Structure 1
């Protein structure tokens, strides 16, 4: 008997951005429906409009369902739990508190469905942080919002491309604040979350490269104020004592090159741009954001709302297709077929 496909809640993101378009394009791919049963949490009218913009109005059917259990895995069908939050004619490419509020509500509903076991994973289209804040929701992004909604105190952001995976010790805070926040405990917990995720993906003994903070990883105290020895080395020693193959601190200006050629299964970046810059060069169009440490699987595109091209039908769906693949691969199967 074939195991039932996992149900994946796909949040529509900011409706003024490219989220509706990439969802329509991504869910029009027949392969996705062989991997999971996607159900969009969003606005049906906006998705239908996106289908017209993308020239897919005759190829896909946007269908409203009451619950994830009603989702139809058939190609050409886009099932949506319609929250009906966006006004008709909302401009694409324009910052809107209404779209920010709607984006929050989509994630809120998806998190509730995941916590109750009605879906096995969440895949998020991009939201706009400024619009989210304008709507009164002061979260730096999806990662922190989902942690709040699921009652988790600490999570990590992992970016994945075909060549390299990177997990971040700190993310959406300023560089000075990031260096202050980093301590051995946070580094150790981040590496452990990353290690567990890589092991669960089928790599039994992952090789993990841990970046330094300063140029050349401090070069034995020559650069910086001893941050590597104070904040990173104790964590690596504790991890290695537990049999985790964590190596470093290593210079960030070379570690991504050697990881990209296959020397490491995971890179640990100390702050946002240290990890994001190299990953986006290696795979912006097909990069996937995975939130590590939540009680549910969550993947996302590794790009923003792209207001400059929203509503033109030109947005590339490669990242959301890969995010759906990753969600389906990491998600547990439903306990019973629906």
Structure 2
């Protein structure tokens, strides 16, 4: 349990700020061992462009990872053909996905205790003729799990989502008893495993304004959400709701809860990002591995300038290490 945590950090889109965020980490001491999964040549080129001196050390499984300032462990991945900041090149798409594959398979093999992802550019990957809707779905398929849950978190707030990247017109049909049950169980179980919350208290938002107002503003709460929550409560889950989303995110409710569960992407995430953008972390629950990510995009306009803010990456690493330690503790407890 006291063994040092080693996290894989994928550098993301080569034209974006991901590579330089990774290099920024090398300028300071780290509590967790970090192995950057990326093209060594890309990191060298970006360091030269930024005028940074960073000692890159090739890492192999079983070795400790560098934590000292000025040094960075690298798991080299071939295939990056263009290192120019700010300019997308579809030829790099296969390389980007290979970094994710290497990191995830390393986690599954036990070489890494978790993975942290810098941002990728979905559009350029699709432009390369590769069907890709995001890290979450890619890792879900690679790990072979039926359902995953997207959760964003700051120091003060955790918000998970029943549905993610869906047009608003499709959300109601997607909120089924099965989906809501799976998401709720995963959320409760992973809050316990990764964050040591013995019995998580979860606030559940309604879908409609005023949570349907007794059926006058929609019946999804009456037909689907309320019966499903009642069944889950009978299993021992501590679920409060459905609550009107416009009052759920207030201290009266949040101060007595461990997480909020929103029905759709823009119901919950604007609140969280207003509260903590730049210091929030994106977490994928339901995977057999630990995965966290930054809460921002590739920021092509900042790439190569040295002005990118690493705040969200620091949060993603801190939370990833916390989750990895939580899982180790839970595994140890289960073996007793």
Same fold (TM over 0.5): yes
The alpha-carbon distance between structure 1 residues 194 and 54, as it changes in their structure 2 partners (threshold 3 A), is farther
Aligned to 1:149: 142
Which deviations, in whole Å up to 9, do the C-alpha atoms of 1:80-112 show, x marking residues without a partner?
111132225x33223321233221110011111
Q: Which moved more, 1:121-130 or 1:185-194?
A: 185-194
Give the counterpart of 1:82 among 45, 63, 76.
76
> Does the 8 A contact of 2:80 with 2:92 survive in 1?
yes
Which deviations, in whole Å up to 9, do the C-alpha atoms of 1:141-183 show, x marking residues without a partner?
1000001111112111110111210111111121122221111
Aligned to 1:213: 207
Distance, in Å, in 2 between the alignment partners of 1:29 and 1:182 is 45
- Secondary structure of the corresponding residue to residue 250 of structure 2: helix
Following superposition, the deviation at residue 74 of structure 1 comes to: 3.0
Aligned to 2:46: 50
Aligned to 2:12: 13
Where structure 2 has 5 or more consecutive residues not aligned to the other structure, the ranges are 332-336
> Does the 8 A contact of 2:163 with 2:263 survive in 1?
yes
Aligned to 2:89: 96
Q: Which moved more, 1:192-201 or 1:254-263?
A: 254-263
Aligned to 2:334: none
Aligned to 1:301: 294
Distance, in Å, in 2 between the alignment partners of 1:319 and 1:76 is 21
Following superposition, the deviation at residue 203 of structure 1 comes to: 2.1
Following superposition, the deviation at residue 64 of structure 1 comes to: 2.4
Distance, in Å, in 1 between the alignment partners of 2:252 and 2:135 is 27
- Secondary structure of the corresponding residue to residue 321 of structure 2: helix
Does residue 22 of the first structure (1) align with residue 21 of the second (2)?
Answer: yes
Distance, in Å, in 1 between the alignment partners of 2:62 and 2:121 is 26
Give the counterpart of 2:216 among 211, 222, 234.
222
Following superposition, the deviation at residue 137 of structure 1 comes to: 2.7
Where structure 1 has 5 or more consecutive residues not aligned to the other structure, the ranges are none
Distance, in Å, in 2 between the alignment partners of 1:269 and 1:51 is 41
Does residue 321 of the first structure (1) align with residue 326 of the second (2)?
Answer: no
Aligned to 1:263: 256
Give 1:41-190 correspondences, 5 Å limit: 41-55=37-51, 57-58=52-53, 60-67=54-61, 69=63, 71-88=65-82, 90-190=83-183
Distance, in Å, in 1 between the alignment partners of 2:73 and 2:113 is 16
> Does the 8 A contact of 1:164 with 1:260 survive in 2?
no
The alpha-carbon distance between structure 1 residues 291 and 259, as it changes in their structure 2 partners (threshold 3 A), is farther
> Does the 8 A contact of 2:147 with 2:182 survive in 1?
no
> Does the 8 A contact of 1:69 with 1:118 survive in 2?
no
- Secondary structure of the corresponding residue to residue 308 of structure 1: coil
The alpha-carbon distance between structure 1 residues 156 and 50, as it changes in their structure 2 partners (threshold 3 A), is same
Following superposition, the deviation at residue 52 of structure 1 comes to: 4.0
Does residue 202 of the first structure (1) align with residue 201 of the second (2)?
Answer: no
Following superposition, the deviation at residue 259 of structure 1 comes to: 7.2
Which deviations, in whole Å up to 9, do the C-alpha atoms of 1:22-56 show, x marking residues without a partner?
122234331x2x2x21111111122233334555x
Following superposition, the deviation at residue 286 of structure 1 comes to: 0.8
Q: Which moved more, 1:122-131 or 1:235-244?
A: 235-244
- What is the aligned-residue RMSD (CA, Å)? 2.1
> Does the 8 A contact of 1:6 with 1:333 survive in 2?
no
Aligned length, in residue pairs = 327
